[in-house]
Homo-oligomer: A and B are copies of this chain.
Amino acid sequence: MGFKVLILGSGSALPTNHRNPTAQYIFCNNRHILIDCGEGTQIQLRKNKVRLQKIDTILISHLHGDHYFGLVGLISTMHLLGRDRDLTIYGPDPLEKIVRMQLEIEGYPLGFKINFVSINGDSAKEIYRDNAIIIRTFPLNHRIPTNGFVIEETPKKLKINKFLFELDKVPIPAAQLFKMSQNYVSNSGQEYSYERYTQAPDKSFKYAYCSDTKYDESIIEHIAGASLLYHEATFANDMKDRARQTYHSTAEQAATIAKKAKVSKLLLGHLSARYGAVYTHLDEAKAVFENTYVVNDGDEIVLY
**Could you name 6 residue pairs across A and B whose Cβ atoms are closer than 8 Å?**
A15-B43, A15-B46, A21-B73, A64-B107, A65-B106, A69-B69
- B144:A107 contact, CB within 8 angstroms: yes
Q: Among B39, B46, B94, B98, which residue has its beta carbon within 8 angstroms of that of A42?
A: B39
- A65:B72 contact, CB within 8 angstroms: yes
Chain B residue contacts of A63, Cβ below 8 A: 102, 105-106
Chain B residue contacts of A16, Cβ below 8 A: 46
User: Nearest Cβ in chain B — how far from A75, in angstroms?
Assistant: 9
| Cβ-based interface call for A172 (8 A) | no
Stretch binding the partner chain, chosen from A76-84, A109-117, A152-160, A229-237: A76-84
**A291 to B86 alpha-carbon distance, docked (Å):** 47
- B40:A80 contact, CB within 8 angstroms: no
- B70:A76 contact, CB within 8 angstroms: no
| Cβ-based interface call for A1 (8 A) | no
| Cβ-based interface call for A187 (8 A) | no
Smallest Cβ-Cβ distance to A40: which chain B residue:
B40
User: Residues on A close to B: CB < 8 A?
Assistant: 13-17, 20-21, 39-40, 42-43, 46-47, 63-66, 69-70, 72-73, 76-77, 80-81, 94, 97-98, 101-102, 105-107, 143-144
**A69 to B72 alpha-carbon distance, docked (Å):** 8
**A105 to B39 alpha-carbon distance, docked (Å):** 16
Q: Among B13, B20, B73, B98, which residue has its beta carbon within 8 angstroms of that of A101?
A: B98
Q: Among B17, B39, B42, which residue has its beta carbon within 8 angstroms of that of A73?
A: B39
User: Nearest Cβ in chain B — how far from A48, in angstroms?
Assistant: 11
Chain B residue contacts of A107, Cβ below 8 A: 64, 143-144
**A39 to B41 alpha-carbon distance, docked (Å):** 10
User: Nearest Cβ in chain B — how far from A20, in angstroms?
Assistant: 8
The 6 closest A-B pairs by CB, nearest first: A39-B73, A69-B73, A63-B105, A65-B76, A107-B144, A40-B40
**A144 to B106 alpha-carbon distance, docked (Å):** 8
Chain B residue contacts of A72, Cβ below 8 A: 65, 69
**A76 to B16 alpha-carbon distance, docked (Å):** 14
Chain B residue contacts of A144, Cβ below 8 A: 105-107
- B69:A65 contact, CB within 8 angstroms: no
User: Nearest Cβ in chain B — how far from A6, in angstroms?
Assistant: 17
**A65 to B75 alpha-carbon distance, docked (Å):** 10
